[in-house]
Structure 1
């Protein structure tokens, strides 16, 4: 009987270990399925969480999905996503940017609710009687938090798309400027090479011109000179034919 009890304990421990591993795997899947632009989702935190909450939650979840403790093939990827989420939320500038989008999402949902209340007289009266308490309760409700999460996704996606489009335009403009600069460099290079080549043949050109001028002054014997115009011919149409000497 004692042996049977030991076996039961072993089976129980094995079962608990399997359950623990399943939970780790599920956490990896959850992290990797989160909206990539919202680090609060990766850490499974609400938007009003403090930096201490971020650090505490990171320590808790990171132990679950750490590659040394979790056998899931994508544990390393999930662990990296978790670390990046913590880094973003501990960066004041990044955190403020995300919270600004969260506030914008809240304002949109509030405006939407006001329009709905105008159509629903009973809800409008209840809201006035409760002096705003009804709205506060609604904002803390699961329904509102779900809508807020989706709206934040929508706004962050839109902002990211705008950012990428702007980055693309900047990249295209930089590419165009770089191409123009390279073309100008090529033009200047060819001009410089032409000037250097022209300057390099200067002596030959000068020498050839001097030889030509010397040859023109000394006509060889028996050589026919070019015809000359008669000065007394007003139309300068008469030319003296060359006469051979000797």
Structure 2
């Protein structure tokens, strides 16, 4: 095992010794032009690459674009993108997610090809004769790999858009709930302040009421009541006196 590692290191050193500044700069440009959601592109690997392939390829390319070795002004950016790509592909959850989208892309392309074969009798007959070999050869072809790469880009883009849209909705909902909570806190605060204010003036209000009641009682004791008016007896008859004439 150790001998294999030594051989690999020797091969890598030999390769890097032959890499010129132009090749390093081109690799920086290639990395930065990759589709950001597909880490396989950054490492220039096929979708069926193993984790060991990922580690080996990362070591090889990272040494090419390392800021200490590469004079390109964006070497640091490319090196960071490469490190992130390796991190994603060595994370089981992230890797499984990407491979799930790759499988979905393959299924779409297969369905598309079946529709084409229905219209192309010669290709259909050949695929039946080859008992599936024709399809296997097609999936390994450069044409299929290019189509797959583009389809994966499309699917990953759509998934990322849905994810961001959902995150935006969640953020808006959280913002609304936070605003409602703050409004409720403000209402409770004002209510508490009002109650504290009432409690603070309670003693003064009670004293004022007591003083008012005492003052009212004293006024009743010393007041002068008006005389009662005599009411005339409605049954009493009156005699009109005669008026003397001049």
TM-score w.r.t. length of structure 1: 0.84
Task: Using the TM superposition, give the Cα deviation of residue 64 of structure 1 relative to its aligned residue in structure 2, in angstroms.
Answer: 0.4
Task: Using the TM superposition, give the Cα deviation of residue 244 of structure 1 relative to its aligned residue in structure 2, in angstroms.
Answer: 40
Alpha-carbon distance change, 183 to 144 in structure 1, aligned in 2, over 3 angstroms: same
Q: Distance in 1 between matches of 2:144 and 2:125?
A: 20
Q: Distance in 1 between matches of 2:68 and 2:3?
A: 33
Are the equivalent residues in 2 in contact too, given 1:35–1:41 (CA < 8 A)?
A: yes
Equivalent residue of 1:201, what SS?
helix
Alpha-carbon distance change, 60 to 14 in structure 1, aligned in 2, over 3 angstroms: closer
Alpha-carbon distance change, 129 to 92 in structure 1, aligned in 2, over 3 angstroms: same
Task: Using the TM superposition, give the Cα deviation of residue 118 of structure 1 relative to its aligned residue in structure 2, in angstroms.
Answer: 0.1
Provide Cα deviations, 1:78-125, integer angstroms capped at 9, x if missing partner: 000000000000000000000000000000000000000000000000
**Greater alpha carbon shift after TM alignment, 47-56 vs 230-239:** 230-239
Alpha-carbon distance change, 213 to 130 in structure 1, aligned in 2, over 3 angstroms: same
Task: Using the TM superposition, give the Cα deviation of residue 219 of structure 1 relative to its aligned residue in structure 2, in angstroms.
Answer: 1.2
Equivalent residue of 1:160, what SS?
helix
Higher alpha-carbon Rg: 2
Are the equivalent residues in 1 in contact too, given 2:28–2:78 (CA < 8 A)?
A: yes
Task: Using the TM superposition, give the Cα deviation of residue 40 of structure 1 relative to its aligned residue in structure 2, in angstroms.
Answer: 0.1
Q: Which has the higher contact order (CA 8 A, sep 6+)?
A: 2
Name stretches of at least 5 consecutive residues in structure 2 with no aligned partner.
none
Name stretches of at least 5 consecutive residues in structure 1 with no aligned partner.
none
Alpha-carbon distance change, 63 to 193 in structure 1, aligned in 2, over 3 angstroms: same
In the TM superposition, structure 1's runs of 4+ consecutive aligned residues that sit over 3 Å from their partners are: 1-19, 220-246
Equivalent residue of 1:228, what SS?
coil
Are the equivalent residues in 2 in contact too, given 1:105–1:148 (CA < 8 A)?
A: yes
**Alignment match, 2:236:** 236
Are the equivalent residues in 2 in contact too, given 1:230–1:240 (CA < 8 A)?
A: no
Provide Cα deviations, 1:118-158, integer angstroms capped at 9, x if missing partner: 00000000000000000000000000000000000000000
Alpha-carbon distance change, 9 to 76 in structure 1, aligned in 2, over 3 angstroms: closer
Task: Using the TM superposition, give the Cα deviation of residue 6 of structure 1 relative to its aligned residue in structure 2, in angstroms.
Answer: 34
Q: How many residues align?
A: 246
Are the equivalent residues in 2 in contact too, given 1:21–1:70 (CA < 8 A)?
A: yes
Equivalent residue of 1:69, what SS?
coil
Q: Distance in 2 between matches of 1:84 and 1:194?
A: 56
Q: Distance in 2 between matches of 1:212 and 1:240?
A: 55
Alpha-carbon distance change, 226 to 109 in structure 1, aligned in 2, over 3 angstroms: farther
Alpha-carbon distance change, 213 to 241 in structure 1, aligned in 2, over 3 angstroms: farther
Are the equivalent residues in 2 in contact too, given 1:226–1:242 (CA < 8 A)?
A: no
